[in-house]
Amino acid sequence: MKSFEDLMGYDKGQREVVITKRWYFGDKEIEELSGREEKYLVHLLRIRYKEVLDEQRDSDKEKTS
């Protein structure tokens, strides 16, 4: 979560993590995730982090062009 907070700000970063978790695991609490589900969530969050980072880089390129 810290990475998303640093990238997007506290509120947007927290929201992004919660939305991603709910999208794939529904209302299941983080504490209730199995080891495999937790690893899968981390994998999904890494993918989403890269997508957000790429979107920000693209928007920065457009501003400077």
Q: For the residues of the chain, what is the DSSP string, one character each?
A: -HHHHHHH-HHHHHHHHHHHHHHHHTT--GGG--HHHHHHHHHHHHHHHHHHHHHHHHHHHHHH-
Query: Is the pLDDT score of 65 beyond 70?
Result: no
Q: Per residue in 1-58, pLDDT tens?
A: 678 788 888 888 889 889 999 999 999 988 899 999 999 999 999 999 999 899 989 9
Q: How many CB atoms lie within 10 A of CB 42?
A: 10
Check residue 1 and give its pLDDT: 67
Look up residue 48 and give its two tokens. 């989403």
Look up residue 61 and give its two tokens. 């390129």
Check residue 64 and give its pLDDT: 78
Domain segments of the chain: what residues?
A: 2-64
